[in-house]
C-alpha cells in the first residue's frame, strides 16, 4: 500500500501546535493526510494556577507540566492529530529569565543530540512536509523556538527524508486594521502604543519572505476550540477575549516561509503539499 502523505509539526511547548499550526493540522487531517505533532518541552515554565509565574509562591513546575501536557493531548484530539510525540525536554523560559542558563534547559541540549532523536521520528513517520519556527528569531526569539528550529533543520539535513520544510510566519498586514475591527465589534481597548519603527521594519522583512499562505477558514472554529483547551496559559490572554468574528478574520489563514524543498514547486503557494500531489 502507498504510504499516506504526512505532515509533521515540530513545536517547542504545549499550545504552540494550536496557535500557529492549528488550522493546517485540522485542514490536512480532514484531507486524509497523516499529521504528527512533536512537542520538544513539557512547558514547565508556563503559568501556574491563577497566572502565577515561575519562581513565585504557588508555582510548581512538575504540576504545570502535567497540566499542560494534558491540555496538549486534548487539543491534538480536537485537531484530529494522528500521532503526538513528546521529547520531554525542560522548558528554557523567556530570553530574559535565568532558567535558560540551566544545563537541563532545552536550549542547552546539543543540537546534534536532539536532532538524533528527531531523526528517529523522521525514520518512524517518513514526513513529506515538516513545519517549525523561523531560525533567526525574526518573529519571536524565544530560546526554545529557536532551538527547535535549529534541531529540526539539522535533522532534515541528517535524514534527507522530508521533501519540504517550512517556518511559521505572521503578516504585519494581517494586524493592520485589526484594532479597528475590534473597536467596530465593541471591544474596549487601551490606548494604542506608539509604533516601534524597528519592530515594523523586522515584521515587514519577515512578511516579505512568506512563500505560502494556506486558507484555514473552514477550520478556524476547531483551531479556536483547540487553543481554548490550553486554558492554564490563555484564559486571561487576548486570544480568549476575541469575538468569534474577529478571531476568524485574524486567524483564517496561516502563513509560512518555505525553507527547504526538493519538489521544485513554484512559489507563492497555497498548499504545503504543492509539488507532492
Mean pLDDT of the chain: 91
Confidence (pLDDT) at 124: 97
CA 74 to each of CA 48, 122, 212, 228, 275: distance values in angstroms, whole numbers, following the listed order:
18, 24, 28, 10, 32
Distance CA 166, CA 168 (A): 7
CB atoms within 10 A of CB 122: 23
Is the model's pLDDT at 219 over the cut of 70?
A: yes
Confidence (pLDDT) at 138: 58
- Does residue 268 fall inside a structural domain? no
| DSSP reduced 3-state for 7 | strand
What CATH number does the domain containing 114 carry?
3.40.50.10320
* Domain count within the chain: 1
Helices (H) and strands (E) in the chain, counts: 11, 7
- Does residue 277 fall inside a structural domain? no
Distance CA 144, CA 91 (A): 7
- Does residue 248 fall inside a structural domain? yes
Span 143-200, pLDDT tens digits: 999 999 999 999 999 999 999 999 999 888 777 766 777 777 777 777 777 777 877 7
Confidence (pLDDT) at 60: 95
10 Å CB burial of residue 224 (0-12, 13-18, 19+) is buried
- Does residue 52 fall inside a structural domain? yes
10 Å CB burial of residue 196 (0-12, 13-18, 19+) is exposed
- Does residue 105 fall inside a structural domain? yes
Is the pTM for the entire model greater than 0.85? yes
- Does residue 12 fall inside a structural domain? yes
Question: How would you classify residue 222: left for phi > 0, otherwise alpha for psi between -120 and 50, otherwise beta?
Answer: alpha
- Residue 166's φ and ψ, nearest 5 degrees, are -135, 150
Confidence (pLDDT) at 2: 75
- Does residue 271 fall inside a structural domain? no
Confidence (pLDDT) at 177: 65
DSSP 194: P
Q: Which of 209-213, 248-252, 268-272 has the lowest mean pLDDT?
A: 248-252
Span 86-102, pLDDT tens digits: 999 999 988 888 988 99
The parent domain of residue 95 ranges over 6-261
Span 13-45, pLDDT tens digits: 999 999 999 999 999 999 999 999 999 999 999
C-alpha cell at 67: 497540566
| DSSP reduced 3-state for 110 | coil
| DSSP reduced 3-state for 10 | strand
The secondary structure element, H or E, covering residue 261 is strand 253-261
- Does residue 272 fall inside a structural domain? no
Confidence of residue 248 (pLDDT cuts 50, 70, 90): confident
Which of the two residues, 120 and 191, has the higher pLDDT score?
Answer: 120
Is the model's pLDDT at 62 over the cut of 80?
A: yes
Is the model's pLDDT at 1 over the cut of 60?
A: no
Amino acid at each position: 500500500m502507498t504510504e499516506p502523505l504526512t505532515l509533521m509539526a515540530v513545536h517547542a511547548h504545549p499550545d504552540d501546535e494550536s496557535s500557529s499550526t492549528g488550522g493546517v493540522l485540522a485542514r490536512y487531517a480532514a484531507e486524509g493526510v497523516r499529521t504528527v505533532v512533536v512537542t520538544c518541552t513539557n512547558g514547565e515554565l508556563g503559568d501556574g494556577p491563577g497566572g502565577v509565574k515561575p519562581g513565585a509562591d504557588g508555582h510548581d513546575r512538575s504540576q504545570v507540566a502535567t497540566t499542560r501536557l494534558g491540555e496538549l493531548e486534548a487539543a491534538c484530539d480536537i485537531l484530529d492529530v494522528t500521532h503526538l510525540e513528546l521529547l520531554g525536554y525542560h522548558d528554557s523560559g523567556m530570553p530574559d529569565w535565568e532558567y535558560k542558563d540551566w544545563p537541563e534547559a532545552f536550549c542547552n541540549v546539543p543540537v546534534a543530540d536532539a536532532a538524533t532523536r528527531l531523526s528517529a521520528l523522521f525514520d518512524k513517520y517518513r514526513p513529506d512536509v515538516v513545519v517549525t519556527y523561523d531560525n533567526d528569531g525574526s518573529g519571536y526569539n524565544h530560546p526554545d523556538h529557536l532551538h527547535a528550529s535549529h534541531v529540526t533543520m539539522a535533522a532534515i539535513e541528517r535524514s534527507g527524508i522530508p521533501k519540504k520544510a517550512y517556518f511559521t510566519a505572521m503578516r504585519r498586514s494581517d494586524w493592520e486594521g485589526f484594532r479597528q475591527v475590534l473597536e467596530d465589534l465593541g471591544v474596549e481597548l487601551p490606548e494604542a502604543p506608539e509604533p516601534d519603527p524597528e519592530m515594523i521594519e523586522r515584521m515587514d522583512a519577515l512578511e516579505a519572505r512568506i512563500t505560502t499562505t494556506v486558507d484555514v477558514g473552514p477550520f478556524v472554529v476547531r483551531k479556536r476550540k483547540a487553543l481554548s483547551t490550553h486554558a492554564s496559559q490563555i484564559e486571561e490572554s487576548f486570544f480568549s477575549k476575541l469575538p468569534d468574528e474577529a478571531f476568524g478574520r485574524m486567524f483564517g489563514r496561516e502563513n509560512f516561509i518555505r525553507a527547504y524543498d526538493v519538489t521544485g514547486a513554484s512559489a507563492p503557494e497555497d498548499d504545503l503539499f504543492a509539488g507532492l500531489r
